[in-house]
Amino acid sequence: MSIDQLKDMVPDFAKDVRLNLSSMVADESLGEQTKYGLFLAAAVASRNPAVIAAFTRLASDRLTPAAIAAAKAAASVMAMNNIYYRFVHLASNKEYGTMPARLRMNVIGNPGVDKADFELWSLAVSAINGCGACIDAHEKVLQEAGVAAGTIQTAVRFAAIIQSVAVAIEAGGAAVLAAAE
């Protein structure tokens, strides 16, 4: 599936989403690996098959196999970490924060791509998944690495757009199913 086919799937009620998608894909403010790895990680985090397919196709023309694997790894490990650390952060019992997580996450230390890219992808996925503790941790690492606030904001904006595409497509599909009943 191409990005144009994905845009065609976005219903008219979500015209702004479609326009944001077009603008995002055309944006050149991030380096190629940063941008397309971010797209892929956020698409995987959206859990929408059409979104994943379109961004996988787009990324496969621009990323190395190692970068593709790292983007998917960022989405996968953050799926685990975001649930665990969101629980630790939100639980009234603060004892959980003193306990070892006992979760394997070696890929964070050795992602196979530039560490700042991987952290940015992880931050974007954490924003999609709503984990404040992970957002804070990844943003801190990015700031320490000298990544500009504008770059961090762009990554989260792109994640928001990709998630909104998934939601719009699903809402449009639900409308079609409801009309058929």
**Per-residue pLDDT reduced to its tens digit, 9-19:** 999 999 999 99
**CATH number (domain holding residue 93):** 1.20.1290.10
Total tally of structural domains belonging to the chain: 1
> Is residue 131 flagged as an active site residue?
yes
107 in Cβ contact with 57 (< 8 Å): no
Whether 180 has a pLDDT exceeding 50, the answer reads no
**Per-residue pLDDT reduced to its tens digit, 51-73:** 999 999 999 999 999 999 999 99
- Find the catalytic residue in 40, 78, 134, 147: 134
Whether 178 has a pLDDT exceeding 50, the answer reads no
Give residue for tokens 């006992």: 102
Residue 153: HSE in the Cβ half-sphere, 13 Å Cα cutoff: 3
**Per-residue pLDDT reduced to its tens digit, 85-128:** 999 999 999 999 999 989 888 888 888 899 999 999 999 999 99
Confidence of residue 45 (pLDDT cuts 50, 70, 90): very high
Give the pLDDT confidence score for residue 174 in this predicted structure.
Answer: 54
For the chain, the straight-line distance linking the first and the last C-alpha, in angstroms and rounded, comes to 28
Residues 6+ positions from 61 with CB-CB distance below 8 Å:
none
**Per-residue pLDDT reduced to its tens digit, 31-40:** 999 999 999 9
- Structure token digits, residue 88: 């630790």
Q: Which domain holds residue 35?
A: 3-180
- Find the catalytic residue in 6, 70, 131, 161: 131
Give residue for tokens 């070892």: 100
Give the pLDDT confidence score for residue 141 in this predicted structure.
Answer: 96
Residues 6+ positions from 174 with CB-CB distance below 8 Å:
none
Percentage of residues of the chain with pLDDT beyond 70: 96
| The model's pTM | 0.91
Confidence of residue 181 (pLDDT cuts 50, 70, 90): very low
